[in-house]
Amino acid sequence: MYPQKRMRRLRRRRMLPLFAEHHLRTEQLIAPLFVDETAREPTPIPSMPGQFRYPPDEVVPVAARLDRAGIGAVLIFGIPADKDREASAAYDENGVVQQAVRRIRKSVPELAIITDVCACEYTDTGQCGIVGPCADGCMDLLNDPSLELMQRIAVSHARAGADIVAPSCMLDGMVQAIRAGLDDAGFCETLILSYSSKFASALYGPFREAADSACRFGDRKSYQINPANGREAFRESLTDAGEGADVLMVKPAGMYLDVIAAVRELGLPVAAYQVSGEYSMIRAAAKNGWIDERAVALESLIAIRRAGADLIITYFAEDAARWLQEAA
């Protein structure tokens, strides 16, 4: 006990690096990229300062820059020129994501490519799959008819050259269906990063502006998890692990560190998504001079690592890589 035991000995300036329990490295970061089929030049996203929608033919320089910065992977979201009830542009072999993947794969071959597998950007309803009347007569996402759609999207992404497909629609059975579809098409080595514990969060607003994916009616509470339910979130990840997911994801990250820690116990690699609202709040507070952006952003990322995430999807990826290099 004190005075013999002094915890502050470990916190002397020269001692801090020696006893840091967790470290943040650039290769643990994944940078989301928005690719817009209708864009003619990089278009700023007002609610996400520093983020852009890129035309398909301009993603290569961005991907190359991220690769040089040491970023581990990119996660590609597509904004198509046309939407319909069946999300047909999502699995078009010449679709916006497919174009971007082929370009990056050819020009930046060492960069890992992840693609978001969902339909909300592609449906005219803004829902994440096929919509129809449910048992109670209300219109909602139809689970089983949407599974085939996710198979088609995932296979088209793998065929274009994606290393990892990331289903985000929170359908029951989505991992099993996608694994079967990939294997049947000869893509046994393509990984599945499942959005396995995805909450019906209020933090997605800026993303829905960026990806033009807001619901035209209703919401997504029938298929995303109630923020109050940690045990349910764990069961969702446990189920996806059993269906063959290679990596599990918790989304959002910062308000769900307890869920990240719980999912870590399943033994699979864990990713966490620091979502648009988390990013935009830090940026907005920093712009107003209320916080130190660099210090808070890095603190938020190391907290996600401390909770147990192996990989972090973050809009701060490129900035964080620069900050880490400057501190080295």
- Tens of pLDDT along the chain (328 residues)? 999 999 999 999 898 989 999 999 999 999 999 999 999 999 999 999 999 999 999 999 999 999 999 999 999 999 999 999 889 999 999 999 999 999 999 999 999 999 999 988 898 887 878 888 877 777 788 889 999 999 999 999 999 999 999 999 889 999 999 999 999 999 999 999 999 999 999 999 998 888 777 766 667 777 899 999 999 999 999 999 999 999 999 999 999 999 999 999 999 999 999 999 999 999 999 999 999 999 999 999 999 999 999 999 999 999 999 999 998 7
Structure tokens at 60: 């290569």
HSE at residue 74, side-chain half, CA atoms within 13 A, is 30
Structure tokens at 249: 């994801």
CA distance 115 to 297: 25
Which positions are annotated as active-site residues? Answer: 198, 251
CA distance 167 to 229: 21
CA distance 7 to 15: 12
CA distance 256 to 246: 21
Q: Which positions ≥6 away from 33 have C-beta within 8 Å?
A: 54, 59, 62, 63, 74, 75, 76, 77, 100
Q: How many CB atoms lie within 10 A of CB 133?
A: 10
Query: Any alpha helices (H) in 69-200, and if so which ranges?
Result: 96-107, 143-160, 174-184
CA distance 262 to 97: 33
Q: Are 92 and 107 in contact (CB under 8 A)?
A: no
CA distance 216 to 288: 33
Segment 177-194, tens digit of pLDDT:
999 999 999 999 999 999
pTM of the predicted protein model:
0.94
DSSP state of 84: B
- As a dihedral over the C-alpha atoms of residue 326, residue 104, residue 301, residue 23, rounded to 10 degrees, the angle is -60
State the Cα angle at 290 between 282 and 298, rounded to 5°. Answer: 40
CA distance 254 to 237: 18
Q: Are 42 and 52 in contact (CB under 8 A)?
A: yes
Q: Which positions ≥6 away from 290 have C-beta within 8 Å?
A: none
Omega prior to 252 cis, within 30 of 0: yes
Q: Name the amino acid, one letter, at 170.
A: M
Written out in words, the top-level CATH class of the domain with range 24-247 is: alpha beta
